[in-house]
Amino acid sequence: MTAAGLLLASLLYFNFQVIAAPYPHEYREGAIILTTQQLLNQINPYSLAEQPQHTNFYGPLYNLLAYPGALIFGPTLAWHRTLSAIFIILSCGLLYLVLRREKVPRWLALVGSIIYYGQVTSLFSVIARPDSLGLFLFLSAVFIPWWNNFRLRSLLLSAGLLVLSFYTKIYFVLFFPVIAAYVFIFKNKRSAISSAIFFSLLLIIPLLIINRLYPLYLTTNFYYYLGVGTDFWGGLWHVARQIAYFSYKNFAVALIFLAYLINSIRPPFGKLIKKFWLDLREISRSLIRKGTTSVQIDYFSFIFWLAALAFVLKLGQNTGGFVDYIYQLISPFMIIIVWRWLSRKLAIGQFAILGLLLTAGLIFTIFNHRQALDYSEPWRIIEQRIAPYKNIYNEPALTAVLVKQNKNIYDSGHTNGFTAAELRRSPWYPEIKSRLDEYWQGIDKQIINQEFDLVVLDNYGYDLISRDLLSRTYERRDTLLAPMIINSWVLELWEPKNKL
């Protein structure tokens, strides 16, 4: 418990540092506060005129919740990160309650919740992004039906929560069919069908209205993801890298999970395989008859394995994400399954060994957790250096600073995804292509005519403007380091040639 207390104190201190830092922690963090700024200015962030310079590929629910506080504090990084921290803590609280409901000892449930807090605060969920809100809605939607014995009311509430999660990050909504499938097969077919109909109506009808009010919402939050392609084998390699990273950073949890698997899959394997096929045949037959199957599968195991399958075959192959899919969709159910097994199967002596292993894991987590180093001075220099300029062409590393200084934004951080190739499936494709041609021709014209007071490029490697064209009328005058918790960047400052 001492190690758990030290870890919790360390993580809370880290979270406070993350919130308080007045500079961006991640390359595209500025895109989120930019959308809140647009709402404050009564600008439709999903209109064609706001693309591609203000593109945001996440839903607006997080920004709408940030709106009241932003009226008071402004669209600051600190306010958005505070919201993220609140929803992370609430999510960990839900996990603790479920572990206690599963009769996991209080100390073990607390350790599991703290470990999970360490996981979700280690990467993107802790910053100004909608991940934490989506996570809270997702976990609530999964836990509530189980807590209420899968009664119809709880399923309807779950459907509503997952529809809300669609307006944070769309992949959370994919899990209502998983919940409904479990209820249909193992609990109550009528409740499953009724809740599925309710879910479909609740998802589709508002989308039809939203599509009228915000014409490009579905383009940026649905059709874009259909157009993102990944090489299958390259995607599997990315999946393997994430699993290896997760296992290294969470070695205690990984070792305990391995022990659980070994305990669950005991020889003779012939009997296990035979039982698997008999259960599968019984489940298949039950789908076309009244009533549910006599086979019983644990709810959280069902969610865990289907989430793991979705991660391997699709979600984890997205090279734009790293490990967060594991932390959000897989890890909470892994902790529930394994912690429940530990509390029911282990003897007193084995609990002592477990305590030592978890203590080692907690200490390892403390020393390997990303620390919010103080980068105030480099960012103070950046802000001071660009303050005199009015019209600045930016790349994403600078977006949050320009929002703070209330200057025009030319690249939100998601701008590079708003391309004709990625959005070819959108019904707005002709208008999008025309808008993109108009926008980038206008940028080129401003470069040729030296209308930008300053052009700031970074070393991410996807410049949306031509460096050859830029070098004809601008020259690089300075470079500045832009350090962040999640990677660091070099900013190149280009000024017009022959400028006095």
Q: How far apart are CA 62 and CA 136, in angstroms?
A: 12
Which ranges of 346-493 would DSSP assign to H, the alpha helix?
A: 348-368, 376-386, 399-404, 429-448, 467-473
Specify the pLDDT at position 196: 94
Q: How confident is the model at residue 66 (pLDDT cuts 50, 70, 90)?
A: very high
Q: How far apart are CA 170 and CA 225, in angstroms?
A: 9
Is residue 96 predicted with pLDDT exceeding 90? yes
Report, as an integer, the average pLDDT of 79-95: 94
pLDDT tens readout for residues 152-180: 999 999 999 999 999 998 889 989 999 99
pLDDT tens readout for residues 259-291: 888 887 766 655 656 665 555 666 666 656 666
Question: In the predicted model, what is the mean pLDDT of the chain?
Answer: 85
CB proximity list for 278: less than 8 A, separation 6 or greater? none
Which ranges of 293-428 would DSSP assign to H, the alpha helix?
A: 299-313, 324-325, 331-345, 348-368, 376-386, 399-404
Is residue 385 predicted with pLDDT exceeding 90? yes
Specify the pLDDT at position 295: 66
Among 124-138, 140-154, 248-262, 362-376, the range scoring the smallest mean pLDDT is 362-376
Specify the pLDDT at position 218: 85
Amino acid in position 79: W
Specify the pLDDT at position 365: 56
Q: How confident is the model at residue 491 (pLDDT cuts 50, 70, 90)?
A: very high
**Token pair listed for 36:** 């809140």
CA 241-242-243 angle, to 5 degrees, is 95
Q: How far apart are CA 456 and CA 477, in angstroms?
A: 10
Report, as an integer, the average pLDDT of 396-408: 92
Class of residue 74 by CB neighbours under 10 A (exposed 0-12, middle 13-18, buried 19+): middle
In whole angstroms, how large is the CA radius of gyration of the chain?
A: 25
Give the other-Cβ count within 10 Å of 62's Cβ. 26
Q: How far apart are CA 324 and CA 88, in angstroms?
A: 13
Highest mean pLDDT of the ranges 110-119, 151-160, 319-328 = 151-160
Q: How confident is the model at residue 38 (pLDDT cuts 50, 70, 90)?
A: very high
Report, as an integer, the average pLDDT of 332-351: 79
Q: How far apart are CA 311 and CA 330, in angstroms?
A: 9
Is residue 24 predicted with pLDDT exceeding 60? yes
Q: How far apart are CA 142 and CA 164, in angstroms?
A: 13
Q: How far apart are CA 302 and CA 411, in angstroms?
A: 42
Is residue 352 predicted with pLDDT exceeding 70? no
Report, as an integer, the average pLDDT of 143-148: 96
Q: How far apart are CA 471 and CA 15, in angstroms?
A: 42
Q: How far apart are CA 138 and CA 230, in angstroms?
A: 26
Is residue 71 predicted with pLDDT exceeding 80? yes
Residue 414, SS3 per DSSP: coil
Amino acid in position 150: F
Of residues 187, 89, 93, 112, the one with CA closest to residue 341: 112
Of residues 456, 448, 445, the one with CA closest to residue 394: 456
Q: At which residue do the structure tokens 């920004």 appear? A: 63
Q: How confident is the model at residue 316 (pLDDT cuts 50, 70, 90)?
A: confident
Is residue 452 predicted with pLDDT exceeding 90? yes
Q: How confident is the model at residue 17 (pLDDT cuts 50, 70, 90)?
A: confident
**What element of type H or E holds 260?**
helix 251-264
Specify the pLDDT at position 175: 92
Nearest 5°: phi and psi at 48? -65, -35
Specify the pLDDT at position 419: 77
More confident residue, 123 or 259: 259
Specify the pLDDT at position 494: 95
β-strands 488-496, 454-458: how paired? antiparallel
DSSP string, 209-245: HHHHHSTTHHIIIIIHHHH----HHHHHHHHHHHHHH
Among 143-152, 296-305, 353-362, 457-466, the range scoring the smallest mean pLDDT is 353-362
CB proximity list for 368: less than 8 A, separation 6 or greater? 249
Specify the pLDDT at position 358: 60
Question: For the chain, how many residues are written?
Answer: 500
Q: Residue 329 gets which letter from DSSP? A: I
Of residues 454, 410, 390, 421, the one with CA closest to residue 55: 410
Is residue 363 predicted with pLDDT exceeding 60? no
Q: How far apart are CA 161 and CA 131, in angstroms?
A: 15
